[in-house]
Amino acid sequence: MSETELPRYPILLTAYEVGVLQSVIWDSRGKSKLEPVMDQLVALLQRFYDDAQVQITLLPDGKVKLTDRYGNTVIRERYGWEK
């Protein structure tokens, strides 16, 4: 590790705790040094979606349709951090 590189520490969180942390970081976006953590949480969510074979469809009204491999479907508003 170089002198300018800080050590990294993994933490264990439940799905609920991840959601709470993600919303707290999002609320302070642009003012926070935690943006790298937010980026990691978004990447982790994408991994969850991939593992569950979730298909994401952007609907014409701007909402998001999520469908898992069993056909379960959720339609919801997009979160601010979703691209």
> Is the pLDDT confidence value at 73 over 70?
yes
Task: Express each pLDDT in 3-51 by its tens digit.
Answer: 678 788 888 888 888 888 888 887 776 667 788 888 888 888 888 889 8
> What was the pLDDT predicted at 24?
83
Instruction: Tell me, yes or no, if the pTM score tops 0.75.
Output: no
* CB atoms closer than 10 angstroms to residue 25: 18
